[in-house]
Structure formats: structure tokens, C-alpha cells
Copies of this chain bind each other. A is one copy, B any other.
Amino acid sequence: MEERFAELKTRLAEIHDVRRAQEVLFWDQTVMMPPGGGPVRGAQLSTLDKIAHSTFVADETGKLLEELRPYEESLDYDSDEASLIRTTRRDWKKARRVPAELAAEMVRAAAEAHDVWAKAREEDDYATFLPHLERAVELKRRYVDCFEGYDEPYDVLLDDYEPGMKTAEVRAVFDDLKAELVPLIAEVGSTEPEEEFMSGPFPIDAQHEFSLRVIERFGYDPQFFRLDLTVHPFAASSGTQDIRLTTRYKDDDITSVFTAMHECGHGLYEHGVSQSLERTPLCHGVSSALHESQSRLWENLVGRSRPFWNHFYPQLQEAFPQALGDVDQERFYRAINRVRPSHIRVDADEATYNLHIILRFELEQEILAGSVGLKELPEVWNARFEEYFGIPCPDDRLGVLQDVHWSGGGFGYFPTYSLGNIVSVQIWEKVAAEIPDLHDQFERGEFGQLHEWLRTHLYALGRKFTPQETLERVVGGPIDAKPYIGYLREKLGTPAAA
């Protein structure tokens, strides 16, 4: 049995090596590659994907998993070995359901749609994107048809990002959230223009230096991390000891410092996965929502908090004397935490962000069910947007065309962003209860104990357990919007000086 298990482990390690090679090649393509390399790089990525996929879904993998059933049952449920067999079996069964032909067509369609979408957005021309969106939705329906035993079709899409999560569960959580958010935003939302000092100047070298100084306190270590520049920030990794973060700087925008903290949160999660899981399919964060909970925790719960700025604001003023020299800390704090309905999701504040997500979550279900037609989508979007945000949507660039996700067939992804917000506060309450002087530590610029708590309780687990099991182990219960609602009410609904 040990021999069979070693065989499975070697097989999975090699597949994982290929997957990680794809990740490094993707990072390289985005961050380093000369533009001319694009077409050949595309072929390389597609070949590696084909190799990893075909080796994984092969009968041999299933045979090994079947033979290892008694071995798995003889082991502790929590052991790395039992977890590897259990999780791999779930992955394998799922991967086997999708015919290679359909998978390939989805990849092709996404590649073809991407540039069309980018051009359509630029030119505010939904009509040229429409046929690609229709194809994407049609392919998603065929994808859903590969599965059975779901409560509603959207469950299948959600499961790709949040394994085991049910649409009904998300709906319940989001309904709670929406019922609180719409009035809260109406109450505290501002319509005034942004404070002038928020547009700088913020010299880019100083932004980079300041960003690094902050995330080095969080746990970024050049022995194991890089930070580079891209148009669209992201985090990738070659293994737990090789984490690649990217960010962007504009000299009229200081929010890059939050981008760095956000990506660092993703990176700390991947870096903290137990090294005993290295080169296995368990060597990743467990789900999109849990991952986002960590980027949001470091960005918002730490990085937009008063204790954090009690420590860092004097340094920020020193780094940007021209923009911030005359701005006191409380005014800066209010500016970075201001609630203000706006059109673009990625620029939204902490509170209204969730309304952007809820809008998309609802529309995705209606699109999949066919109750909203794609031709009418812009009108439906705009009407719903005005209802939730209280402001009209002037065009599709600021509306239905703004996000890349649908062009790539990424239906089911959006909700995980808000689930991440919700989970981040559940985890935060747990940490705060166990480390009562957390805020005092932040005021001293110390984040090591927070990092260590998260590493031990969450990051180290990797994908050993389901997202639900993982959350249960970290916070002692299922997903629950109440702590997050309480947090938003307290932070935004009470006078800033409190």
C-alpha cells in the first residue's frame, strides 16, 4: 500500500510541477516577456495544460485512488496522506466529467473573446461583444450539463471556485448583506468629490519604497518573495518558497499601497502552506473566498485601520510631504475609508464593493436560467445598478462591459470576492479574541503575531480539507454575514472620531 501511495504521490507531484511551470510561465508572460514572445508562449501554456490535464484524468489515476481506499480508511482523517487521497479523488471525479473537447473549446472561446471584449469596452460597443458572450454562456450551460446531483445549475459554476458551496447558501448570506448595505450606504454615502490631496503628487519611487516597507512588516521576505510591476496586479507562485507579487503605481494615486497589501495577503497564504504539502495538489489556498479573505484582511482590516496608520502615517507624510504634509491623520483616514457609490467595481470602497458583487451574482443566475436575455443585459444592468447604488449608469464601459470575467467564461467567480470580505471578519473576530492586544501591536508596527496565528490556523492547512471544513476549523462555524455587517456598521456608521 505504501508503494501504491508513493506511486500516486509521484504522479501528482509531476502533474503539480507542470501546473507550477504554467504559473511561472504565465507570470513571466505578464511581467517579463518581450511582446514578440506572445504566440509561442500561448502554445507552450496550452501544451503544459494538456499534459497536466491528460495525465491527471487518466484511468491510472483513478485506479490508484480506488486501490488506496482501504489505506485511506486506515489513516487519520487529518493526516496529509488521507487528505491527499480524499481531495484528489474529489478533483479527479470532477475533472473526469468534462470531455476534453468541451474543455478545449472553452479555452479557445475565452482566448478569442478576450481581445474582442477589450476592444468593445474601449469603444463602448456591447453589440460586438454580444456573440462572444452568447457563446460563453452556451458553453457554460453545456458545462453544467456534464454534472448531476446539484440543487440548482449555478451550484456547478460556484463549485469551481468555492468547492461545496451552494447557491442557496450564498443567496441567504448576500440577502442579509444587501438588506443592511443599501440603507447603510444611503445613510453614510458621500457624493462630494474626493479630497484633493488624494491625487498626489505621489512620486513612484517613494510609493514602491513605502509599499515594500509595509509588506516587509507583514511577512514579505526577499528570500521567498518578489514584487514587480504589471497593469493588473496579481499574486502567483512557483512553490511555497517562491512567491511573486505584482502591483502598479500612478503618481496621482496612493491606493497602490493597498494593492501591495492585498497581493501580499494572497502571497502570505501561499507561502504559509505547510511545506509537507509541497509538490502536491494540496499546496494552495483552499478556495477563492478563503484566499480573498486573506487579501482583504491584510488590505482592509489591517491596512485601513486606525492603529495601522497610527504607526505608519508619520512615515507616509515623510514619504509624500508635498501631498500630505498639511493633511492630518484623521482626515487621511476618513479619505481612505470614505463610502461613495461609483461605477467601477475595482475602484469601489470597502462597503459599496459588495453591492457590485451582489448585482453580478444575481445577474449571473438569471443569465444562466435564461430569465435575463443577453441582448437586454445592458438595460437590466443599468436599471438594477441605479436601484442599488442610487446613481445612473451612463454607458456600458462603466457598466456591463467593465469586467474581464465573463469574456473568459468565469461565471461563478464574482461572489467569492464578497464571501472573502465576510469570512475575513469572521476570522478577524477569532484572532482578536485570542490576541487581545492586536491593535497595540499594530501601533508599534508589529504584525508577526497576527501572521503567525493565520499561518498556524489557516495557511498551513492548504487544501487538506474542504473550504467548509477549513472555515469550521478556523472560526468554529459556517459562513455568516453578521460579523461583517457589524464591522461595517461600527466602522462606517459611527462618527469618525469614535
Task: State the A residues within 8 Å of B (CB).
Answer: 13-14, 17-18, 20-21, 24-25, 28, 32-37, 39-41, 43-44, 47-48, 50-51, 222-226, 238-243, 278-279
Q: Give Cα distance in the complex from A25 to B239, angstroms.
A: 13
If the complex has contacts A14-B50, A40-B20, A47-B14, are A33 and B279 also in contact, measured as CB distance less than 8 A?
Answer: no
If the complex has contacts A17-B48, A47-B18, are A40 and B224 also in contact, measured as CB distance less than 8 A?
Answer: no
A-side interface mostly:
helix
Sampled A-B contacts (7; CB under 8 Å): A13-B43, A24-B25, A34-B224, A34-B226, A34-B242, A41-B239, A44-B238
Name the residue of chain B whose CB is nearest to the CB of A224. B36
Name the residue of chain B whose CB is nearest to the CB of A225. B34
Q: Give Cα distance in the complex from A354 to B18, angstroms.
A: 42
Q: Is the CB of A238 within 8 A of B41?
A: yes
Residue among A17, A48, A240, A279 having the largest count of chain B Cβ atoms under 10 Å:
A17
Name the residue of chain B whose CB is nearest to the CB of A283. B40
What residues of B have a CB within 8 angstroms of the CB of A47 in the complex? 13-14, 17-18
If the complex has contacts A224-B36, A239-B37, are A43 and B28 also in contact, measured as CB distance less than 8 A?
Answer: no
Q: Give Cα distance in the complex from A328 to B478, angstroms.
A: 79
Q: Is the CB of B36 within 8 A of A241?
A: yes
Task: Tell me which of B14, B18, B238 contacts A40 (CB under 8 A).
Answer: B238
What residues of B have a CB within 8 angstroms of the CB of A17 in the complex? 43-44, 47-48
What residues of B have a CB within 8 angstroms of the CB of A25 in the complex? 21, 24-25
What residues of B have a CB within 8 angstroms of the CB of A278 in the complex? 40
Task: Tell me which of B13, B28, B44 contacts A28 (CB under 8 A).
Answer: B28
If the complex has contacts A224-B34, A242-B33, are A21 and B40 also in contact, measured as CB distance less than 8 A?
Answer: no
What residues of B have a CB within 8 angstroms of the CB of A242 in the complex? 33-34, 36-37, 40-41
Q: Give Cα distance in the complex from A279 to B45, angstroms.
A: 13
